[in-house]
A and B are shown apart, each in its own frame.
Chain A
Amino acid sequence: MKPVIWDYGFLAALAVGIAGITLMSASPVWYLTIIFFCLIAGVWYGTRTWPDRAFYLVCAGEPLILACGSINLWTGLFVIWMVAGLVCNALRILVLHEEIRFFILFCGATVPVAVLARVSNHVVLPLLLLCTVTGIIIAIQAIRNYKFRKQYSGVRP
């Protein structure tokens, strides 16, 4: 299967998106998004050979996500997708077609979260809902893991 390389694609798309958001929002603190974009671009360039690069990229991307999310949740969602693509690309986990499908699935899964944040008046209920869903997933996984290990680990002779 031919691997797909997106070296500068997500960064370029993010740059174009940030420029558009900044122009359209006409915010009095318009320069913040530019500064945060420069931050993530600098981290992206500076941590090319570092281990745990995903952590630095996510940490650098969070201020930009918050800044754009404060302007509009949908612009925040766009930035999230681009940062996620940047991280996946940096870790080379967006190479195979199967991995691209999983990335698109992730983008689709974030839409309900954005809708949830959009329709909610306060944070408490959506936060509880997210934590409950995560807890259910963890519980199901724990049972699956137990059964799986029981089948394959057996008993040490």
Chain B
Amino acid sequence: MSQLFSTATVVVSNSQGLHMRPANLLVTAAGKFASNVTIVREGQSVDCKSILGILTLGAVQGCQLDLRAEGPDANSAIETIVDLFQRGFDEPTE
């Protein structure tokens, strides 16, 4: 099985930042992939499959985050997660 490595940079666009609901969406999404996915904010790196980890980032609107995935399905994992960020987690915007 090939080990792939994929990265992306995203910005938190939804107004309320990474609170419970978006964090839960991220955990659920990352959980569907075999790859390890991490989120890095200003050097702090957390497991994207851990809701506690994501909450610890305290990422508010406008935060820039680096995503890293490592594993057989790294590319599609990153694509799925970037899409969640780009849609602002489907939260109502102003």
Partners in one complex: no
A residues within 8 Å of B by Cβ?
A: none
